[in-house]
Amino acid sequence: MNIPDKIIVGRATSKEILYQTLKGIVPVDIFTRRVKGDYSSPLYSSYRKFVKENSNHIWNTELVRRKIVDGEKLTSILSLPTVNPIIIEFFEKFCILERWILQVDRYMEGRNNENIFKKT
């Protein structure tokens, strides 16, 4: 939202004028939230908590070990101060793919332990 330049007086910005004008009508969160996007603030706070607790585990993932995903880039993306919804979506897909690889590995390990050529 922007207001016309001719309405702005002095050093006030569009955001300040809109904030003062719409106070009580529009929730304060609209003007004070750091990240604009489709995701709610609880999602961002849980994402930040996850990053803080699990960023060191990136190096233990199969995707990084197998050099499918660059661990350096992942850790640098996780260290960014603000998060883009696209990054959250990427990490959701990353986790899904990691789980899939682990399941395939377990399945293949079980298949290798079976002696399928055993004569009865």
pLDDT score for 107:
87
pLDDT band, very low/low/confident/very high, at 112 (cuts 50, 70, 90): confident
Considering the entire predicted model, what is its pTM?
A: 0.50
Instruction: Give the pLDDT confidence of 7-22 residue by residue, as tens digits.
Output: 666 666 777 777 787 7
**Of 103 and 5, more confident:** 103
Q: Percent of the chain beyond pLDDT 90?
A: 12
Q: Which stretches of 79-118 are DSSP H helices?
A: 85-113
pLDDT score for 66:
92
Give backbone dihedrals phi and psi of 13, rounded to 5 degrees, phi first: -100, 165
Average pLDDT (88-99) is 86
pLDDT score for 117:
52
Contacts of 59 by beta carbon, 8 Å cutoff, 6+ apart: 71
CA distance 70 to 58: 10
Kindly list the domain boundaries of the chain, sorted by start residue: 1-32, 37-120
**Is residue 71 a contact partner of residue 64, using CB atoms and an 8 Å limit?**
yes
